[in-house]
């Protein structure tokens, strides 16, 4: 679990303007930054490198009010950011009180103008599910072998 750099917006970011949703509550959470010249851009995950940052205005996204806010810096499971933090925003999802390591995301703007994101990697979740499935499968296979062995000894 480490900080991941985001590509740079078209102009130097001055502050993190907040988090929002592009269209509906089902859309991905968007990081919105304001550049030093006052323009707003939001970051789209999974887009081509040249299409990550999209220029917008206040009407171009729906601001997330619940959960977005200043970072909680005393989260033991989040490593320190990779530089001096100029601005930060955190989102704690619906189940964050039960399992904060999985449902908390943070974005930081560093003094050097780079933007970084931390969240619990999906690969770890998928790996844990895969190992759990393999464990169940292996346990069932061993149980079957033991059952057949015991049954064979009775005959």
Contact at 8 Å (CB) between 31 and 89? yes
**Cα–Cα dist 23/41, whole Å:** 15
Mean pLDDT over 44-62 rounds to: 76
Residues 6+ apart with CB under 8 A from 114: 5, 6, 8, 83
pTM of the predicted model as reported, rounded to 2 decimal places:
0.68
Residues 19 and 46 in one domain: yes
Cβ 106 vs Cβ 78: under 8 Å: yes
Q: Can you give the pLDDT at residue 65?
A: 43
| Rounded Cα gap, residues 40 and 45, in angstroms | 17
Residues 115 and 139 in one domain: no
**β-pairing, 104-110 with 85-92?**
antiparallel
Q: How many structural domains are present in the chain?
A: 2
Bridge partners, 15 (sequence order): 34
pLDDT of residue 45: 75
Note whether 85 and 149 are same-domain residues.
Answer: no
- Residue with tokens 């998928």, as numbered in its chain: 126
90-145 pLDDT, tens digit each: 887 776 666 667 778 888 999 999 999 988 765 444 445 555 667 777 777 788 78
User: 109 and 127 in one domain?
Assistant: no
Same-domain status, 41 and 83 = yes
End-to-end CA distance of the chain: 54
Tokens 């005393």 identify what position? 74
Region of 102 please: left (phi>0), alpha (psi -120 to 50) or beta: alpha
Is residue 141 domain-shared with residue 77, that is, in the same domain? no
Q: Quick one: 147 and 92 in the same domain?
A: no
pLDDT of residue 63: 66
| pLDDT at residue 141, rounded to an integer | 79
Same domain, 60 and 130: no
pLDDT value at residue 126: 47
37 and 47 housed in the same domain: yes
Domain of residue 24 covers 4-120
């Amino acid at each position: 679990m480490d900080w991941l750099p985001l590509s740079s917006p078209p102009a130097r970011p001055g502050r993190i303007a907040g988090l929002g949703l592009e269209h509906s509550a089902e859309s991905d959470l968007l990081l919105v930054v304001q550049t030093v010249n006052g323009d707003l851009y939001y970051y789209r995950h999974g887009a081509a490198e040249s299409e990550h940052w999209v220029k917008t205005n206040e009407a171009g996204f729906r601001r997330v009010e619940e959960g977005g806010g200043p970072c909680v810096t005393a989260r033991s499971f989040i490593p320190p950011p990779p530089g001096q933090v100029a601005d930060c925003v955190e989102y704690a999802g619906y189940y964050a009180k039960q399992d904060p390591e999985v449902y908390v995301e943070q974005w930081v703007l560093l003094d050097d103008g780079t933007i970084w994101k931390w969240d619990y990697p999906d690969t770890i979740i998928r790996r844990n599910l895969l190992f759990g499935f393999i464990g169940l499968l292996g346990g069932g296979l061993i149980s079957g072998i033991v059952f057949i062995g015991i049954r064979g000894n009775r005959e």
